Structure 1
Amino acid sequence: MKTNEIRIFCPATIANVSCGFDVLGLALDSVGDEMVVRKTTEKGIKITKLTGQDLPTETLQNVAGVAGLALLAESDHVGGFEIEIYKKIKAGSGIGSSAASSTGAVWAMNQLLGSPFTNLELVKFAMEGERLASGVAHADNVAPALLGGFTLVRSYQPLDIVKIPTPPELYATVIHPQIEVRTSDSRRILKTSISLEDGIKQWGNVGGLIAGLFTNDYDLIGRSLVDHIIEPIRSILIPGFDKVKEEALGAGALGCGISGSGPSIFALSKGKKTALVVAEAMRKVYEKIGVDYDVHVSKINTQGIKILEN
């Protein structure tokens, strides 16, 4: 690795994980963006290359640029950075496209500066990219992208993030119907208050999911992957959602829900074999409806961002 340049892989992520709106997320292993970040003597951040998606390269309109500027503002670095972004995660897919760019930029910059910032500080910088993308500086995608595995945002003020263990046989299947659901739009339709009854059900499931992850209790994980608050509203934006969920569970998935703000739908399974069967069951639904789709089957990525050889 050159001392002034680094090439990285930044993983896609599943946020919310059914019951944990804005506080739970996990990182995927088989899909993510690649980025090249280099130190320059010129001040500021420049996006010098962006392939794979039609996204702005102007620094203040790109999530990587905004997150990078947040880090630079707190840094002693007198120069700046150039960023190349090779997008493999489709924008608006619901698997953390903006989070990958935001997190990858600040993680790589921190590496090139000799790691002066903590992971918690890097999450805060990356959250500024999320603010640009969705209007809300949430951490449920950026935290697992950075730390790997499952993460819990215990608190936003002050920011408190906990990494949760990942059971070794847990696999994710994600199907992305080729429609775009903007995070900002899908947040706008949400209610701002919930009933006490729904709240009790929801935090019971969050606690159950965390307990299941710690104890490798796959059945408990499955019973806890239920969303009483967000999914009933957001699912109406996703064609075929109810049928995809029904078929995924019928094929052996532990649980199934909306990935982030959608339109991607995720399922968690015990073992790769089941995850592949679930993928086939999901595929058949969209084949029948006539909607184009992408499918990813992935182990949970427990490392997070990693350095690639040039």
Structure 2
Amino acid sequence: MSNKDLNPAETLEIADGKAKAPSRGLGVIRVFAPATVANVVCGFDVLGFAVNEPGDEVEMRLTDTPGVIIKRITGDDGKLPLDAAKNTVSASVQHYLKHINRMDVGVEIELHKKMPIGSGLGSSSASTVAGLYAINKLMGDLLTAKELVPFAMKGEELACGYGHADNVAPAIMGGFVLVRSYEPLDIISLPTPVGMYAAIVYPQVDVPTKDARQMIRSKVFLKDAVTQWGNVAGLVSGLFMNDFDLIGRSMKDVLVEPTRSILIPGFEVMRNLAMENGAIGFGISGSGPSVFALTKDEETAKKITKAQQQHLHKLNINSKAFVSSINAEGPRVL
């Protein structure tokens, strides 16, 4: 990541070779950042959207002692590292401070996990984004939301070995997002059709992101690639045209979902239940095991999650459900 990539000169006031925040504002801040649905079926690593529930919270305070520390983590059952170099939140904050040449700043972080880890809903992304949004606020909003994305990608690289943006970009920017290019990074906000809801069900089974990525074919047939990019174009067009039917026709994946769905118990039955109960389209959220359906209203979304949870209960699989409108704002100060 280079200064050229972020073009921060337009947003920073430079004094004595250091980036100077106009005002630090409050010394303590608490931020919520949303869960996200990555891929949106056909857009592997390039499409994603944010939801209002669930999400993670970060409490951050500035101190007089230089360095970034994780003071406390709740809600993770002891799974996440307190080592600042290994935690996605603190590591991303360190990259941010280094970029603005403010390594003299002291930061204490408390991370409060409010969403399931390993759910396919961008758990590491939500934590990382909450931390970056918090430090950027404390330092005086030196960077725009889009300029924060590369720092959040560093957190994703630490979490799963690959710095993709289809979770972190919508978590930071809100709404639907298209990652047109990674080199150079080119991120485009897409419109959200009026009234759209997401019906999300998280079957509590283990599908590690790294394992799910390793299952994906490295080479594909040209005819499958043609089908896939036609669906991506159709989905993006449907969002702009507010055309639910076109969105639904485009939510088909011939490259990744056929393999990944094998890891999710009852996947095909849950798809059928979603479509029978009025879903626009259905698929895997990120690498799974969470699944999601897009709907035209909240009531339809509730019907779908209820039917799917009943099916999982018959399979003796515990699950959590979330019904949410599309989050248009991204993170917010609590």
Shorter-chain TM range is: over 0.9
Cα distance per residue 1:139-181 (max 9 Å; x no partner): 0000000000000000000001001011121100110011121
1:74 maps to which of 99, 102, 112: 99
Query: TM-score, with normalisation over the residues of structure 2?
Result: 0.90
Q: Helix, strand or coil for the counterpart of 2:85?
A: helix
1:152 maps to which of 175, 178, 183: 178
User: Counterparts in 2 of 1:27-38, with a 5 A limit?
Assistant: 27-38=50-61
Unaligned runs of 5+ in 1: none
2:292 match: 266
Letter in 2 for 1:29: N
Are 1:202 and 1:227, in contact at CA under 8 Å, matched by a contact in 2? yes
1:7 maps to which of 30, 33, 45: 30
Letter in 2 for 1:23: V
Cα distance per residue 1:78-134 (max 9 Å; x no partner): 212111111011110000000011111111111111111232331000101100111
Are 1:46 and 1:81, in contact at CA under 8 Å, matched by a contact in 2? yes
Matching of residue 19 in structure 1 with residue 42 in structure 2: yes
Q: Helix, strand or coil for the counterpart of 1:37?
A: strand
Matching of residue 223 in structure 1 with residue 223 in structure 2: no
Q: Helix, strand or coil for the counterpart of 1:61?
A: coil
1:204 match: 230
Cα distance per residue 1:272-293 (max 9 Å; x no partner): 1111111112112101111000
Letter in 2 for 1:34: E
Query: TM-score, with normalisation over the residues of structure 1?
Result: 0.97
Q: Helix, strand or coil for the counterpart of 1:162?
A: strand
Are 2:66 and 2:107, in contact at CA under 8 Å, matched by a contact in 1? yes
Cα distance per residue 1:189-242 (max 9 Å; x no partner): 111111111111111111111111111111111111111110001111111111
User: Counterparts in 2 of 1:75-114, with a 5 A limit?
Assistant: 75-77=100-102, 78-114=104-140
Letter in 2 for 1:229: L
For residues 221 and 200 of structure 1, what CA distance do their matches in structure 2 show? Answer: 17
**Higher deviation after alignment, 59-68 or 18-27:** 59-68
Are 1:129 and 1:137, in contact at CA under 8 Å, matched by a contact in 2? yes
Point out 4+ residue stretches in structure 1 off by more than 6 angstroms.
Answer: none
Percent identity over paired residues: 48
Are 2:196 and 2:326, in contact at CA under 8 Å, matched by a contact in 1? yes
For residues 158 and 51 of structure 1, what CA distance do their matches in structure 2 show? Answer: 37
Letter in 2 for 1:70: H
Are 1:120 and 1:159, in contact at CA under 8 Å, matched by a contact in 2? no
Are 2:146 and 2:172, in contact at CA under 8 Å, matched by a contact in 1? no
**Higher deviation after alignment, 86-95 or 1-10:** 1-10
Are 2:25 and 2:140, in contact at CA under 8 Å, matched by a contact in 1? no
For residues 72 and 211 of structure 1, what CA distance do their matches in structure 2 show? Answer: 39
Task: Figure out how many residues of one structure are paired with residues of the other and give that number.
Answer: 308
Structure 1 position 2, deviation (Å): 6.0
1:245 match: 271
1:44 maps to which of 51, 59, 67: 67
Are 2:178 and 2:190, in contact at CA under 8 Å, matched by a contact in 1? yes
Are 1:92 and 1:181, in contact at CA under 8 Å, matched by a contact in 2? yes
Cα distance per residue 1:41-65 (max 9 Å; x no partner): 2222111111001211111121101
For residues 41 and 181 of structure 1, what CA distance do their matches in structure 2 show? Answer: 42
Letter in 2 for 1:18: V
